[in-house]
Structure 1
Amino acid sequence: MTMGAVQEALAGLPLVDHHCHGAVTADLAPAAFESLLTEGEARPGSGISAFDTPAGVAVRRHCAPLLDLPRHAPAADYLARRTALGWAEVNRRLLSAAAAGVFCVDTGYAPHPLTSPAELARAAGATAYEVVRLETVAEAVARAGVEPGEYARAFRAAAEQAVRRPGVVAVKSVAAYRTGLALDPARPADDEVTGSARRWLAAGGRLADPVLIRHLLWTAVDLGLPLQLHTGFGDDDIRLHRADPALLTDWLHLTRGTVPVLLLHCWPYQRNAAFLAAVFEQVYLDVGLALHHAGPVRARAILEEALEITPFRKLLYSSDAYGVAEFHHLGALCFRKGLAALLQDRVDADELSLTDALRIAAWTGRDNARRLYGLPASDPARD
């Protein structure tokens, strides 16, 4: 009876997906679709298919029925049906099935043609807000041309302009990819920034200078919005041991009392992230991305580790879905199923009342994000 109550509450909860990306606005060839099912590389002709992974199996089990196919439909049938329906209808069905009320969309990474936040919201019948990726802002400043001594001022001005856009609720950094998180925690001096800017502007390329990344993080603090930080799991561009959120400990000491810091994804360091959330007032976390890649069977275990010591007002939901709308749906499904199961076990063990379990479900799936990002209690017109 109580299991039904927890499941029912989570099934009916309009989630806030506090970090995701757009869905592709093009029909995908089989190899292109498979490449988006994995954080690794698709290897056509190798005999290794992205469908033969926990995420691929979950797509065939949980997404196939939404495309009018039987559960566990063969991959070839799934791809053919996806093509027959067309990308717009596929996106509408899968995004609607996620049953999210709000998406907070990182618009700073778009190697594929993607839905804008407004387009994502319309397809899902939801509301969308924007997350500004600061490395993208810095690289736009560099491309526009700036003198090294003016770089700090120009970047700050561009970042301030970006966050003033309607609907922006947070900023994000991918420092974990660019330098790793074992950075000198101190705010860099002006002459350090100018010297590093001179070298970077002369060499070109993406922002990967440790001093300028430190400057970017401190600029984020000055902007005053919640700061999302990629940690843990990602594609092969990351060095995983340098993406452990525990490496941020000294910087978190220096930034006490400033902005909320949202540790994104975290796996396999969700326990380290939980420690940081337990001891630093400004730290929050999610385990997005890992949930749909692990699949519904293991999502509970990941959430359970994240909640071992995390204060219940510190865990948020995200999918980190990118490209294929299947992952917006699967992220939500894995979260709902995993959280319902672990909360029910605590209720059954008389370690948690049903009232508390339902409150924790609402906090984690929706209310923590609403509070942190200052979102309205009920969303305006959904466009």
Structure 2
Amino acid sequence: MDQLLPCVASLRLVDHHCHGVLGTDLDRDGFESNLTEAGSRSPLGTSLFDSSLGLAVRRWCAPLLDLPPLAPADEYLARRRSLGAAEVNRTLVSAAEISTFLVDRGTWPEGFAGPGTFTGSREHLVLRLERLAEDVVTEGATGFPARVREVLDSSPAVAAKSIAAYRVGLELDPARPSDADVVAAADRWLTSGSTRCADEVISRFLVWEALDRGLPVQFHVGYGDADLSLHKCDPLLLTDLLRATAPLGVPIMLLHNYPFHRNAGYLAQVFPHVFVDVGLATHAVAHQARRVLTEALEIVPFGKFLFSTDAFALAELYYLGAVFFRRALSDFLSAGLREHALAQADAERIAHLIGWENAQRAYRLE
């Protein structure tokens, strides 16, 4: 972590979107299945350690587990198992120096560690909207809108999240649906026999209801696993909805965005309520993070950009997300200082805005 600007090295980050860690030990297949967005390593390829992220684990995480940098993958995994999941999680998450976590528990598989995983840091809940709908639709289509509203009214969450990108794509009709339309959509859903919330009417109903209650809404955008169709996940598809919701003045957070991070930056510039990050792309591209962050920051106002890891299952992803974010941000600001494009005071302010102040303001965190 040498050569970082002091104002970046000292940042206690706010991770505005993450998912929690596994509290159980993993074999090699189990570790690799959580290392990238691939479901497992391919029998036609090689190990998922043969990637920028796999190299990053060996380079940056191995020394924290008392191994030499770039220790072989098998040695790393053996050391990980010998320490135990609890110790590995404590070591790596603590080393990330993240002060606050906004946790999406919409996917919480068996074996995930419970409360207290992020020792010494604050945790806030992000409410998964599709999971909410799936929980309450089982009581029937009649009264479905009212039950959704009751849950939203009583939720302690500081934000809501939509995975419309996975279920219906991001080209959502901007119109607020009527309750009659929502009930009809819920009835179609129940009749289909599916347990998945995958109806465009319900997706936008959920978004409007969350925004009506002043809850910032996070949208998964771009890069994700094979369950989504990437061409339907360009944030520009949200333009009409963003235009319609702007008068509410409630933040909409575009998560991840890669490879559409430039498109997302444009939206954050032209719409007053839109914020962006590059999320899991930061650790996915690993040592190339400076390039991606620089592209993402080309036109986005610095007061509209946030940090997140989108870490899921592996504590390594929290640590690497923070490491590569700090390195990329420091490189970006250092380049600006060398070119006399900004002053030292500007660099410090930008680091604070992106590292934690924007999240604190947008989510009204105390």
Give your verdict on TM over 0.5: yes
- The alpha carbon displacement at 1:12 in A equals 1.2
CA distance in 2, matches of 1:47, 1:347: 43
3-state SS, counterpart of residue 256 of structure 1: helix
Residues 212-232 of structure 1, C-alpha deviations (whole Å, 9 max, x = no match): 111111111112111111101
Equivalent residue letter for 1:228: Q
Q: 2:82 aligns with which of 81, 84, 88?
A: 84
- The alpha carbon displacement at 1:115 in A equals 2.5
- The alpha carbon displacement at 1:46 in A equals 4.3
Segment drifting more, 190-199 vs 10-19: 190-199
Residue 121 in 1 paired to residue 114 in 2? no
Q: 2:145 aligns with which of 138, 141, 152?
A: 152
Q: 1:179 aligns with which of 155, 168, 175?
A: 168
For structure 1, list consecutive stretches of 5 or more residues without a partner in the other structure: 377-383
Aligned ranges 1:7-18 → 2 under 5 Å: 7-18=5-16
Judge conservation of contact 2:290–2:329 (CA < 8 Å) in 1: yes
Residues 249-295 of structure 1, C-alpha deviations (whole Å, 9 max, x = no match): 11111111321001000101111111111000000000010010100
Judge conservation of contact 1:312–1:364 (CA < 8 Å) in 2: yes
3-state SS, counterpart of residue 341 of structure 1: helix
Judge conservation of contact 2:173–2:204 (CA < 8 Å) in 1: yes
* Residue in 1 that maps onto 2:326: 336
CA distance in 1, matches of 2:117, 2:124: 10
- The alpha carbon displacement at 1:13 in A equals 0.9
Q: Percent identity?
A: 48
* Residue in 2 that maps onto 1:257: 247
* Residue in 2 that maps onto 1:218: 208
For structure 2, list consecutive stretches of 5 or more residues without a partner in the other structure: none
CA distance in 2, matches of 1:182, 1:373: 25
CA distance in 2, matches of 1:149, 1:334: 49
CA distance in 2, matches of 1:292, 1:112: 25
Segment drifting more, 357-366 vs 43-52: 43-52
Judge conservation of contact 1:134–1:159 (CA < 8 Å) in 2: no
Q: 1:99 aligns with which of 80, 97, 100?
A: 97
Judge conservation of contact 2:33–2:40 (CA < 8 Å) in 1: yes
* Residue in 2 that maps onto 1:68: 66
- The alpha carbon displacement at 1:43 in A equals 3.1
CA distance in 1, matches of 2:45, 2:162: 36
CA distance in 2, matches of 1:101, 1:184: 37
3-state SS, counterpart of residue 230 of structure 1: strand
- The alpha carbon displacement at 1:45 in A equals 4.8
| TM score, norm. by length of structure 2 | 0.96
CA distance in 2, matches of 1:58, 1:15: 20
3-state SS, counterpart of residue 90 of structure 1: helix
Q: Give the root-mean-square deviation of aligned CA atoms.
A: 1.4
* Residue in 2 that maps onto 1:380: none
Residue 266 in 1 paired to residue 257 in 2? yes
CA distance in 2, matches of 1:227, 1:45: 39
Q: 2:228 aligns with which of 235, 238, 247?
A: 238
Equivalent residue letter for 2:234: D
* Residue in 2 that maps onto 1:277: 268
CA distance in 1, matches of 2:204, 2:364: 27
Residue 302 in 1 paired to residue 292 in 2? yes
Residues 18-56 of structure 1, C-alpha deviations (whole Å, 9 max, x = no match): 100100010112101110001013136545211111111
Residues 98-122 of structure 1, C-alpha deviations (whole Å, 9 max, x = no match): 0011111111112342223x32222
Segment drifting more, 35-44 vs 212-221: 35-44
CA distance in 1, matches of 2:347, 2:162: 33
3-state SS, counterpart of residue 228 of structure 1: strand
Judge conservation of contact 2:221–2:256 (CA < 8 Å) in 1: yes
* Residue in 1 that maps onto 2:180: 191
CA distance in 1, matches of 2:284, 2:343: 31
- The alpha carbon displacement at 1:244 in A equals 0.7
